[in-house]
A = this chain, B = another copy of it.
Amino acid sequence: MAVSASQVLNSALNTPATRRIYRVGPLHAVRAPMREIILAPPHEPVVVYDTTGPLGDPEFAASHDLRGPLPPLREEWIRSRGAGPVTQMALARRGEITPEMEFVALREGLAPDFLRREVAAGRAIIPANVNHPECEPMAIGRNFLVKINANIGNSAVFAGKGAPCGERPWIDEEVEKMRWAVHWGADTVMDLSTGPDIHETRERILRASPVPIGAVPIYQALEKVGGVAEDLTFDVFRETLLEQARQGVDYFTIHAGVLLAHIPLAEKRLAGIVSRGGSILARWCLAHRRENFLYTHFREICEVLRAYDAVFSLGDGLRPGALADANDEAQFAELDTLGELTRIAWEYGVQTMIEGPGHVPLHLIQENVERQRRVCADAPFYTLGPLVVDVGAGYDHVASAIGGAWIALHGTAMLCYVTPKEHLGLPNREDVKQGVIAHKIAAHAADVAKGHPQAIARDRAMSAARCEFRWEDQFNLAFDPETARAYHDESLPGDEAKSAPYCSMCGPKYCAMRMTQETRERV
């Protein structure tokens, strides 16, 4: 069987100290993967959430080409549902606990019926298109672990530079970025490609991805009309949406809340409209002096999404792109419209989440999330950061992690990562990794503060390992064991140092941990 570079990739977390385990459900016999971090005896392993699906299963990895396609985990579940309403929301409302719900309940350590109730109420979504059977079910909602999304995708500037005629390395590159993001813990991935081969790139990503894939169909629709926003029509859009839904895209950013009446509000801003989709639709609206066709045809869009159990990610086309524009009339006017659309989507049983900002100063973050909750009746909130400064260029992943942690603590369900390249260029592999890890820390900080037992257990295990100088355990409990180990080895390489009761930071004489341990023994 083919053995690919993926195995090298997976080895980072699949150290000898990591074990793949499965939690098996009593209702549908689903098997939900978890990762056990094995600690030095007699310490119990720490069980953590695992996003990697088959990619993180050593047996599978040893015998498959991990560039895809993955096995269709959900194929039977979907087939057995037959005709009728297929959305998780519709099923939940009918009282059914689906295999997807059971799978999520196992991963999150919750009761399956709690899942059902959250999905039925619209407080949580399970993005899992019926045509993306490779995807492992996961939930996004304020009462679950905080999730993070990684954006990938090429642009016309970057893709294909210098590629030999006939080769399309940019496709492989995006598949690799997806797997890399998932490897570091991304819960979902959005393919924002606007470069060449949009359809084929998305197809390859979907077939190889164990996590839900999001997309923004207006981008491809714009390609189809030669990049001229004014030439867009609902028919072109609908055809594109159908094409992507058929492929298996799990959630769609739809900028249906950018209304003609909102556009003048954004004119007052320092930074205007900074969302790609928002600016495309604003241009269309102004050119035709007509209402946004995504708004006027919203019920037709609901019908498409319902047919595939795809999920709305109602786009915030008017999100603030500068601190000065945060929480302004334009943003909140659009939010009101998103609340209205949420209720329409729910009429169709279409699962829905709401996208949020953007650039927001620290003191305005809480208002943002509380207002979203009220206006959108508790539909899950999915924010881009927010960045708490405008001047972080080169380090915007830090600016975003600061805002992300805070907004997640107040109930935001998923954070879209920001990489160090934000505002400067297209992220590469290293940027993707830095972005994912910074936001894993932000999400984890919120989980811990919200009292999630699984998150708290990992921190406690880390602190205990730290006090007892179990260096290998510390490395393995970190989000990036290799880097933690490498940093430690920089000044104290070798095996003896891994059991030394100190590190190079303070040296043996000044190690508070060691001194405390000794003092305890003497007392």
Contacts and interface: CB of A to CB of B under 8 A. Distances in A.
A140 B293 CA distance: 55
Nearest to A421: B487
Contact of A504 (B157, B388, B397): B157
B512 A390 contact: no
B286 A508 contact: no
A425 B487 contact: yes
Nearest to A227: B509
A335 to B, nearest CB: 19
Given A155-B510, A424-B505, A512-B274, A391 B444 contact: yes
Contact of A398 (B158, B428, B441, B474): B441
A358 to B, nearest CB: 12
Given A449-B362, A505-B426, A273 B484 contact: no
A425 B322 CA distance: 38
Contact of A391 (B279, B391, B477, B507): B477
A111 interface: no
Interface string A390-417: 1111110111011101100100000000
A334 B388 CA distance: 33
Interface string A257-290: 0000000000100111111101110110010000
Interface stretch (A200-208, A302-310, A463-471): A463-471
A269 to B, nearest CB: 9
A436 to B, nearest CB: 11
Interface residues of A, number: 110
A490 interface: yes
Q: Which of A155, A283, A456, A523: most chain B CB closer than 10 A?
A: A155
Contact of A448 (B156, B389, B426, B504): B389
Nearest to A365: B449
A370 interface: no
B388 A276 contact: no
A423 B492 contact: no
B324 A459 contact: yes
Contacts of A80: none
Contacts of A393: 462, 474-475, 477-478, 484, 487
A512 B273 contact: yes
Contact of A474 (B229, B362, B423, B458): B423
A272 B509 contact: no
Decide if the interface of chain A is mainly helix, strand, loop or mixed: helix
Interface stretch (A16-24, A101-109, A126-134, A514-522): A514-522
Contacts of A442: 398, 402
A425 B451 CA distance: 30
A194 B510 contact: yes
Contacts of A271: 463, 466-467, 513
A128 B513 CA distance: 33
A380 interface: no
Contacts of A178: none
A135 interface: no
B276 A445 contact: no
B449 A194 contact: no
Contacts of A484: 393-394, 424
Contacts of A402: 401-402, 405-406, 441-442, 445
B280 A515 contact: yes
A322 B450 CA distance: 17
A438 interface: yes
Contacts of A444: 389, 391
A460 B326 CA distance: 12
Q: Which of A219, A403, A515: most chain B CB closer than 10 A?
A: A515
Given A361-B448, A445-B389, A491-B426, A513 B286 contact: no
A321 interface: yes
Given A505-B424, A506-B194, A389 B279 contact: no
A66 interface: no
A484 B420 CA distance: 9
A346 interface: no
Contacts of A120: none
Nearest to A325: B463
A488 interface: yes
A437 interface: yes
Contact of A449 (B275, B283, B388, B490): B388
Top 4 A-B pairs ranked by shortest CB distance? A322-B463, A155-B507, A362-B449, A390-B459
14 contacts: A156-B510, A194-B507, A276-B511, A278-B512, A279-B516, A359-B463, A361-B445, A392-B441, A395-B483, A402-B406, A424-B487, A425-B488, A425-B492, A425-B504
